[in-house]
Structure 1
């Protein structure tokens, strides 16, 4: 017994034992590497989460400061807002611990408000507004969209928002969307973001990309109010859409170009400009040209040493103090 126990293992058995040991070592190495990788990833995620949380905090703080800045801007000349002071569209960087915040303020009302396609006080009572449908159609035509396509898209967009489920002639309601490969229903409520237009019948990716700089979805079913003292020459289509078929792009550009350095003091004088050549828009449309801005939009770009965050803030300046009504992050809808 003792002689057999002390007898050396055959070469084949010793080789098998060695392979077993090597296999165990390899498995332990793989497991250790996986554990180390997960630990490293968890550490990085934790660090990134902390940086991102700090970036959000900086953006939120900047949004509050913008509100105070807007209050001061409006108080300078109540009832009238011009480009004086260079506040429009100019990025203003602010240094913060560990990075910076760049703030850019825009006139948030100089756009076609998609929610103006309807009239009503709440989502249960939204009715199509023919004037806004005509203006949206005109805007698209001014941007080069075929008249027939522009009309159908405007009607479909109005149907998307209005409260009922009965399509107008040329419009689109549930039956149009339920018949698709990925069926869905019309919202039948105001749009929360302009990007919702992509879901409307007839809106292709190319058309949406064309319209995106010109449209918005303000949280009110009001006609698009344009501040003639802050409109830029390249925004002439927005002005021309107020009087479809009457006010041409060249006329609209001239009216903006003739703006005095201190801005217009009266909308009556604005519509009486020689450049308008006697164009008399509908009374309701004429009132859309205003001297003041109600909606402001701020772009907040936070850079934290390689970690970037972009947020958008929407403000309502209808009454003092200016009220922050919406915050979104990422690229603008």
Structure 2
């Protein structure tokens, strides 16, 4: 009986050992499976990101090619009915579809071209009065418009003395996130969110009239693609003698197919009465020097949205000038 009891005990110990080994092997197998799953997931994410990167590069390249193909036939001349603006380009790639919609990006007042003073470093092709007049034309009160002009000027100029309605370091030091004025031109349109006076409501009123480009980039307006709500822009950039309402009427009465040239525009009744020395004819054109593209890349992992800008060089060729990812 004692021998039998020992055998049962040994068999029990052996069974426990086997069970322990099975548990350890199962745990190791689960860990290996989990690691493999994570590895596969990481590989899929990496592959998706790589595909998105190349899809973006491809979309930007296709956009540049299409812009040049279309505008080569018209030497850059554009109207709202141009082929470029009719329908977006849609094409497939390995993980989904890409859509490229083009829009006019020429017609705006470049805030980096704002003149900040008389010295060479502060000079600009857009006067504070032009900017002020455009803001008033957009519906802002005189005092509100002056505050925006002065605040923006103080933000960009090199000194620390605030203008009459402006804001220098002292105005920003007490904010929830204190900061200083940078004393340099804007990097992007989003910089305006940090400048005193440029509230969301104000931005909604003027976003279709302004842009941020290099300081020297003050492209003429394309009179054939201006929209009625951009009348303040036309009035401010062309002549102080042209009212916003007159500018709006000019745009609304534009000939079908657009003006043949700037000379024909200058013969319009409300324009012909303005003395040549009171006009800025060089601010107008029938060509578009800047074309924007809204790119959407849709895949099984979501949608990437990108804004791109193509600029016209002195040789007439449009090249990609910049792109950035946007939300929404």
TM-score above 0.5, yes or no: yes
Report the equivalent of 2:54: 54
CA contact (8 A) 1:172 1:201 kept: yes
1: CA distance, partners of 2:26 / 2:135: 66
Summarize the Cα distance change of 1:286–1:119 in structure 2 as closer, same or farther, 3 Å threshold.
Answer: farther
Deviations 1:60-81 (A, max 9, x none): 3213313532551443xx7xx2
1:158 Cα deviation (Å)?
2.2
Report the equivalent of 1:92: 88
Q: Is 1:125 matched with 2:121?
A: yes
For structure 1, list consecutive stretches of 5 or more residues without a partner in the other structure. 10-15
CA contact (8 A) 2:208 2:230 kept: no
Instruction: Return the match for 1:207 from 176, 185, 202.
Output: 202
1:106 Cα deviation (Å)?
2.3
Q: Where do residues 34-49 of structure 1 align in structure 2 (5 Å cutoff)?
A: 34-35=34-35, 37-49=37-49
Instruction: Return the match for 1:236 from 228, 231, 243.
Output: 231
Deviations 1:47-69 (A, max 9, x none): 31232123123223213313532
2: CA distance, partners of 1:332 / 1:244: 37
CA contact (8 A) 1:100 1:302 kept: yes
1: CA distance, partners of 2:104 / 2:40: 45
1:115 Cα deviation (Å)?
1.2
Q: Is 1:140 matched with 2:135?
A: yes
Summarize the Cα distance change of 1:115–1:194 in structure 2 as closer, same or farther, 3 Å threshold.
Answer: same
Deviations 1:115-137 (A, max 9, x none): 121379x9x813466x5322322
Deviations 1:77-103 (A, max 9, x none): x7xx24176235333324244344333
Q: Is 1:109 matched with 2:106?
A: yes
Summarize the Cα distance change of 1:214–1:272 in structure 2 as closer, same or farther, 3 Å threshold.
Answer: same
Q: Is 1:183 matched with 2:178?
A: yes
Summarize the Cα distance change of 1:149–1:21 in structure 2 as closer, same or farther, 3 Å threshold.
Answer: farther
CA contact (8 A) 1:128 1:158 kept: no
Summarize the Cα distance change of 1:223–1:171 in structure 2 as closer, same or farther, 3 Å threshold.
Answer: farther
2: CA distance, partners of 1:25 / 1:205: 61
For structure 2, list consecutive stretches of 5 or more residues without a partner in the other structure. 10-15
CA contact (8 A) 2:70 2:84 kept: no
Q: How many residues align?
A: 323
Q: Where do residues 256-275 of structure 1 align in structure 2 (5 Å cutoff)?
A: 256-275=251-270
- Give the RMSD, CA atoms, in angstroms: 4.1
Q: TM-score, structure 2 length as denominator? A: 0.77
Q: TM-score, structure 1 length as denominator? A: 0.76
Summarize the Cα distance change of 1:134–1:228 in structure 2 as closer, same or farther, 3 Å threshold.
Answer: same
CA contact (8 A) 2:64 2:320 kept: no
Report the equivalent of 2:246: 251
Secondary structure (helix, strand or coil) at the match of 1:328 reads strand
1:33 Cα deviation (Å)?
6.7
Report the equivalent of 1:13: none
2: CA distance, partners of 1:115 / 1:332: 24
